[in-house]
Amino acid sequence: MAKRKFMLPSIAGAIATVAAIPAHAAWDLLNMPRGVTVLSREIYGMHMIMLWICLAIAVVTFGAMIVAMIRFRKSKGAVADTKLLHNARLEAAWTIVPTLILIGMAIPSVEKLIKIEDTTGSELTIKVTGYQWQWHYEYLGTGVSFFSRLSRESDLARQRASGIDPSTVDHYLLEVDHPLVVPTGAKIRLLLTANDVIHAWWVPEFGMKRDAIPGFINEMWISVDEDQPGTYRGQCAELCGADHGFMPIVVVAKPKAEFQAWLAEQEAAQL
Amino acid sequence: MQASRARANRALAARLVLMAAGSFAFGFALVPLYDVFCELTGIGSRERLSRAADTADLTVDSSRTVVVEFTASVPAGGHFRFAPMVASMEVQPGRLYEAHYLARNLADHSTTAHAVPSVAPARAMRHFRKTECFCFTPQHFAGDEERELAVRFTVDRELPAGIDRLTLSYAFYDSERVAGGTTG
Amino acid sequence: MSTAQGMQAAGHGEHHGGRPQGLARWFTTTNHKDIGTMYLVFSLAMFLIGGVMALAIRAELFQPGLQLVDPTLFNQLTTMHALVMVFGAVMPATVGLANWMIPLQIGAADMALPRMNLFSFWLLFVAFLLLLSTLALPGGPPAAGWTLYPPLVLQSGSAFPAAIFAIHLMGASSIMGAINVIVTIVNMRAPGMTLLKMPLFCWAWLITAYLLIAVMPVFAGGVTMLLTDYFFATSFFNAAGGGDPVLFQHVFWFFGHPEVYIMILPAFGIVSEVIPTFSRKPIFGYEAMVYAIASIAFLSFIVWAHHMFTVGMPLAGQLFFSLSTMLIAVPTGVKIFNWTATMWRGSISFEPPMLFALAFLFLFTIGGFSGLMLAIVPADLQYHDTYFVVAHFHYVLVPGAVFGILAAVYYWLPKWTGHLYDMRLAKWHFWLTAIFVNVLFFPQHFLGLAGMPRRIPDYATQFADWNMISSVGAFGFGLAQLLFVWLIVKCARGGERASAGVWDWPHGLEWTVPSPAPYHTFEKAPEHK
């Protein structure tokens, strides 16, 4: 009865989860994306290190618990050693060793934080403004600016009892009418603010998230790898009202030359 | 026994009253204390953005240039067109510069507005000093009036080396709608 | 000492004949057992109400697309679910346990301030009447999240003042309850029971009480500033008037972080009672456990901004809060190791209280690991405001605080009712709960890592599978709790007689009085060696 008392729920839970998964669709979705920027890859690496360390500590800790529960069962005749009350050396050990592990975890994160805060050498500044419930993008110094809203197809499908099956909509809830276009291989400074309430701008593949606060500007930088042009999707990441879940972010990263051409086209259209 | 207990109770009551009074007084003392704390730590440099800075020592550091970008927003509920007249400027720390914004009251009645400044990156805030700014005082506009608003500033020499570009942003608020509360 | 004797002497004579019967009893009783029962029944009712809200949320999230609720109602459900669970279920349950057990464990006849005790309960009751009444107000309940961030919360309608007032009442109730706990523990311990001989449940509550007194007023201050911004044109959180929305976040989380420790510390205390009893040996490292709880409580004051890593914080701030947050893992780890060492070379049996305590040990630790990951700022930039956070806090709150409370109920129910409960039913309740809580919350880690933000009523189709599984888990978990309700009703009505000691290896003064505990216990202070 006592044996495997906690193996059972974990196994049962695992079976329940596995049994319901069709093919490999869900397996892709077990972990953070590596992403397409220097920062996203570093963050992924940090995350994986943390995960492995926690897993290792878990194996040791849970292992000790399971051994205790099995070896010292009353039903198998274990007799309690009521004199085993304290051990100062053990207490010191399991205070100091975890502290050292934590310091070890903290050190790499410092260097990454400094990199995240370093916005020098940027080639382009884009001002991002959060609205209820859409984004506004402005390419500073060019006069190019536009709103970016949830695409019409998604918007129709997401209405309550719309009768439209979300799986028939391309990039359901992650498509907009005017995506943000950026060059690859360039450090881009993003300025974030909001028009009404707090929003947050987040694209998982870029590894960066920052709040957009009305009345103030925040900044962050991204740099999409030169060899990774493409379309990247994210969402608002701060509760901002009814349609918080319906103001996605779509970024199209183009090689520099293509980007310049696109920008020139937009500037011309503004005139 | 009763008498000594009564005495002890009185003494305790007196100490407790003193502690309560002291806590209350501490609450008031916090007002000047916060100013001291903010000076020491540099937190609250945002407040300094809304006040004229002294520029007694204005020696130019010609060894570096910093790009200062200008941007503007009119948050929800404001009836203004408000934009910088120049998108950016290359500045040398220590020298005084002037930048202009163009504001137009889109309503046909007079109104008052005021601008709230913000600087990014945040650690550049304490090094951005304005000697004159339209954000120091409320700005009155007649109906449909348009005018240029000026800000004079300097970036001080202590600006950290790791900053080559900073952005000055203004949020332009219609004073009538400043009253915090439900929007619209 | 003399106070306890004084209490015994004063006026117990008139109570013996005249204890009010019927409904009047519950409005006039100042007996800690009655009041404890009222808090526990209240918290069970709130747990079910909050649970129904959660089921509505998970029902909507069962599939992509909006089927059942509109987005505003969804936000209202998530807001109310949290407020009800935090302030209506978990906190009152721990207060109820404190009321019932602290006097019994320290050998006191009652709490130090019995009338204030009664007032605290009814204040809470009224507070929740007010909060739940917002469901019927035009515009419905608040929808800005339990965190009430401005400017969004200032867009609330008529529910806003009701919610703020409810929070004030609830806060006053908690503060008074905390004062009661401290005064009781400091003054009314049996002769011979020094602080370092006191049961760990009492230690946990002593420290929790200090946390409550320190931070509840801060929360009250914060929501009052929201109130004045809303009604009286102040600009605390409005940039237009020179204020800053982020100020609220600082004030809120300065309260909010110690608040979550207020919820978990009593559970730590409970686990420290249960594991020794069913390992048949005393807690390992008693003093280390006391220092650990005190360290956790102290550290809880200096970590608040780890909820705010994406607001645009200076580097120094990010580093400080990241490191201080990671540091909390140390005393927490000490506790987990000590609980394990208590089992080591013990003689362990697996009655329902022990089952829940052991599940706590495993699953709370999982929650602790995700918390450690969240403390690392660069990684948090990906986790913040996603389901990874939702998974983390539900692991520490549900298999954490709630399992602790369930363990306590299963541990002390025979003492309260005088009957043993249906063990088979209890074990069914345990296994279904423990399995389904994992089916419900574990996939949420994956959802967060894969990119699903929190507080959204609908999601992109790649998130469908894990959401479906999580929703199945929710319904399983919810239905399993009905077994618990049934078990309690059955036990209250009757069952096998419970002895004074109830369990095989009872420790603590509460097991020296008969079961059910007489209405008045320890009218004469017991000797404690």
> For residue B42, what is the nearest residue in chain C, using CA coordinates?
C314
Same domain for A158 and A252? yes
* pLDDT tens digits along B119-145: 999 889 889 999 999 999 999 999 999
Domains and CATH numbers, chain C: 2-511 (1.20.210.10)
Reported as a pLDDT band with limits 50, 70 and 90, residue B62 is: confident
Q: Kindly report the length of chain A.
A: 271
Same domain for A100 and A230? no
ipTM over 0.85: yes
Residue A161 lies in a domain: yes
Is C239–B116 a contact, with Cβ atoms under 8 angstroms apart? Answer: yes
- Chains with ≥3 Cβ pairs under 8 A against A? B, C
Cα separation of B48 and B39, whole Å? 10
Residue A6 lies in a domain: no
Residue A6, pLDDT above cutoff 90:
no
Same domain for A62 and A169? no
* pLDDT tens digits along B16-58: 999 999 999 999 999 899 888 877 776 666 677 777 777 666 7
Q: What is the pTM of this model?
A: 0.93
The contacts of residue A168 (CB under 8 Å, 6+ apart) are A157
Closest C-alpha among A213, C232, A217, C246 to residue B178: C232
Residue A11 lies in a domain: no
Residue A211 lies in a domain: yes
Residue A4 lies in a domain: no
pLDDT tens series, chain C, 529 aa:
344 443 343 444 444 455 678 889 999 999 999 999 999 999 999 999 999 999 999 999 999 999 999 999 999 999 999 999 999 999 999 999 999 999 999 999 999 999 999 999 999 999 999 999 999 999 999 999 999 999 999 999 999 999 999 999 999 999 999 999 999 999 999 999 999 999 999 999 999 999 999 999 999 999 999 999 999 999 999 999 889 999 999 999 999 999 999 999 999 999 999 999 999 999 999 999 999 999 999 999 999 999 999 999 999 999 999 999 999 999 999 999 999 999 999 999 999 999 999 999 999 999 999 999 999 999 999 999 999 999 999 999 999 999 999 999 999 999 999 999 999 999 999 999 999 999 999 999 999 999 999 999 999 999 999 999 999 999 999 999 999 999 999 999 999 999 999 999 999 999 999 999 999 999 999 986 5
Residue A12 lies in a domain: no
Whether cis (ω within 30° of 0) applies to the bond prior to C142 is no
The domain in which residue A52 lies consists of 31-76+89-118
Is A81–C281 a contact, with Cβ atoms under 8 angstroms apart? Answer: yes
What residues of C are annotated to the active site? Answer: 81, 110, 146, 173-174, 257, 259, 261, 272, 306-307, 332, 335, 454
Same domain for A70 and A152? no
Q: Which positions in chain B have a beta carbon within 8 angstroms of at least one beta carbon in chain C?
A: 46-47, 50, 75, 114, 116, 122-123, 171, 173, 177-183
Same domain for A151 and A265? yes
Higher pLDDT, A12 or C336: C336
> For residue B75, what is the nearest residue in chain A, using CA coordinates?
A195
- What residues of chain C lie within 8 A of the CB of B171, using their CB? 239-240
Helix (H, G, I), strand (E, B) or coil at A253: strand
* pLDDT tens digits along A17-52: 555 544 444 456 789 999 999 999 999 999 999 999
Radius of gyration of chain A (CA): 25
- What residues of chain A lie within 8 A of the CB of C284, using their CB? 84-87
Higher pLDDT, C231 or B77: C231
DSSP annotation of A30: G
pLDDT of residue C7: 39
Same domain for A51 and A154? no
- Quick one: tokens of A48? 């994986």
Same domain for A157 and A245? yes
How many structural domains is chain A composed of? 2
> What CATH number does residue A191 fall under?
2.60.40.420
- What residues of chain B lie within 8 A of the CB of A217, using their CB? 71, 118-120, 167, 169
Q: At what angle do helices C245-279 and C387-396 cross, to 10 degrees?
A: 40
> For residue C289, what is the nearest residue in chain A, using CA coordinates?
A91
- Chains with ≥3 Cβ pairs under 8 A against C? A, B
Instruction: Say if residues C175 and C158 touch (Cβ distance below 8 Å).
Output: no
Same domain for A93 and A134? no
Q: Alpha carbon of C523 to those of B3, C107, C118, C188: distances in Å? A: 26, 9, 20, 12
Same domain for A161 and A100? no
Residue A187 lies in a domain: yes
Same domain for A154 and A202? yes
pLDDT of residue B183: 41
pLDDT of residue A12: 60
Cα separation of C168 and C178, whole Å? 15
The contacts of residue A21 (CB under 8 Å, 6+ apart) are A27, C465, C469
Reported as a pLDDT band with limits 50, 70 and 90, residue B59 is: confident
Of A67, A101, A118, the residue at which a domain comes to its end is A118
> What CATH number does residue A110 fall under?
1.10.287
Q: Which positions in chain A have a beta carbon within 8 angstroms of at least one beta carbon in chain B?
A: 117-122, 125, 127, 129, 138, 140-141, 189, 191, 193-196, 214-219
Same domain for A52 and A137? no
Same domain for A100 and A226? no
- Quick one: tokens of C128? 């929740």
